[in-house]
Amino acid sequence: MIREILVYPDKRLREPSQDITHFDASLHALLQDMYDTMIHKEGIGLAAIQIGVASNVLLINLVEEDGTQNKENLYEIINPVVLEKNGITVYQEGCLSVPGYYEEVERAERIKISYRDRDGKAHEKEFTDLMAIAIQHEMDHLSGRLFIEKLSYLKRKKFDKEWKKKQKVGK
Ligand code: Y12
Ligand code: CO
């Protein structure tokens, strides 16, 4: 089922998410709704809180070089914990909860995390490139943070001004 995506400045996006304790049919239904919503909205990543569920669940499904988005490349990441981070990289990020706004954000270049899959099986894996960036972006959602909070003072001021203007004209 396609669910509504919470949009900034919705306060629920600031809520920290909680760990999943039961790897059951209700988790699988949540993963399905998240996937349907992410694909429908043309996203490559989604955290559960973006559909109003404060659980430590995130999806990432990057697009291939030929522009296709294949479900075989879907990562379902539950209860992630950062084990290591290193390097610095900058990438122009976007977020379905801040539609129409893209800005460069600094992140770690590599990240090693532990997480569980939909069956509760534990994994440990190191990610690089766009996967590393996407994981950090989505894990920030689980802590109640948005990428716009990582902008410089001046860029944030500019964003606030643009966002207010957009709200006024009803876009
Ligand atoms: C690198 C940087 C950020 C991420 C997090 C995941 N972000 C997204 O999936 C963003 C998707 C997105 C899609 C949009 O397109 C449509 O809604 C059709 C979009 O455009 C508008 O809202 C107008 C904005 C963001 C992963 C990796
Ligand atoms: Co986001």
How high is the pLDDT of residue 53? 99
Per-residue pLDDT of the chain (171 residues; tens, 9 = 90+): 999 999 999 999 999 999 999 999 999 999 999 999 999 999 999 999 999 999 999 999 999 999 999 999 999 999 999 999 999 999 999 999 999 999 999 999 999 999 999 999 999 999 999 999 999 999 999 999 999 999 999 999 999 999 999 988 876
How high is the pLDDT of residue 149? 98
Per DSSP, which regions of 1-155 are E strands? Answer: 45-47, 57-60, 75-86, 89-93, 103-107, 110-116, 122-127
How high is the pLDDT of residue 171? 65
Strand partners, 93: 103
Give the Å distance between the CA of 140 and the centre of ligand 2.
8
- Residue pLDDT, tens place only, 50-92: 999 999 999 999 999 999 999 999 999 999 999 999 999 999 9
Residue 124 burial (C-beta neighbours within 10 Å; 0-12, 13-18, 19+): exposed
Give the Å distance between the CA of 56 and the centre of ligand 1.
20
Cα distance between residue 115 and residue 108, in whole Å: 18
Mutate to test the pocket of ligand 1, among 2, 34, 40, 42 (most ligand atoms within 8 A of CB): 42
- C-alpha distances in angstroms, 105 versus 14, 28, 81, 98, 133? 19, 32, 21, 14, 9
Residue position matching structure tokens 């490139």: 129
Mutate to test the pocket of ligand 1, among 96, 127, 133, 146 (most ligand atoms within 8 A of CB): 96
Task: Provide the residue type at 57 as one letter.
Answer: V
| DSSP secondary structure letter of residue 143 | T
Nearest in space to 160 (alpha carbons), one of 107, 105, 103? 103
Ligand 1, atom 15, residue with closest C-alpha: 42
Cα distance between residue 130 and residue 119, in whole Å: 25
Per DSSP, which regions of the chain are E strands? Answer: 45-47, 57-60, 75-86, 89-93, 103-107, 110-116, 122-127
